């Protein structure tokens, strides 16, 4: 998680860095997953992501990150697929997210678009920010898993 926060802070200005730190990920209402490869004898973290309920029937994907060594292996897609499944089990009508507008976030935006997420106005407590892109997915339009 430290690496994720350091990367986000190096790309985004402080007022536009919305990644959760470890204490925030432990808060009630946040579910946090990690994906590990333990098969090689060592503990190798591949990626992580969190899901937060921001209102009745509305969830938010938070703090998605894939370790640099494991990018391009489908780690993020696996995590999003899992979070969509959990969102369905929680009867969320909508799943939203905030990500950066900078070039470094293009792969993330493309990933979310492949899952059907579309640009939307700020939601929850977010405000309009040129450094942020807001995306949402109506769960009735989400592809079945």
Confidence (pTM): 0.82
Contact 101, 88 (CB under 8 A): no
DSSP-derived secondary structure for 80-115: HHHHHHHHHHTT-SEEEEEEE-SGGGHHHHHHHHHT
Average pLDDT per block of 10 residues along the chain, 145 residues long:
48 55 80 81 81 94 89 93 96 96 93 96 93 95 63
16 Rama class: left (phi>0) / alpha (psi -120 to 50) / beta: alpha
In the chain, domain spans: 2-141
- What pLDDT sits at residue 25? 79
The fourth-level CATH superfamily of domain 2-141 is Gcn5-related N-acetyltransferase (GNAT) (3.40.630.30)
């Amino acid at each position: 998680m430290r690496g994720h926060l350091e990367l986000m802070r190096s790309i985004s200005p402080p007022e536009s860095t919305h990644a959760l730190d470890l204490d925030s990920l432990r808060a009630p209402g946040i579910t946090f997953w990690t994906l590990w490869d333990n098969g090689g004898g060592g503990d190798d973290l591949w990626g992580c992501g969190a899901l937060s309920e921001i209102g009745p029937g509305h969830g938010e994907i938070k703090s998605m990150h894939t370790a640099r060594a494991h990018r391009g292996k489908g780690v993020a897609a696996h995590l999003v697929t899992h979070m969509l499944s959990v969102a369905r089990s929680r009867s969320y009508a909508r799943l939203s997210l905030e990500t950066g507008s900078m070039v470094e976030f293009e792969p993330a935006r493309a990933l979310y678009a492949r899952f059907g997420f579309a640009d939307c106005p700020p939601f929850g407590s977010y405000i309009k920010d040129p450094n942020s892109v807001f995306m949402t997915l109506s769960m009735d339009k989400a592809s079945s898993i």
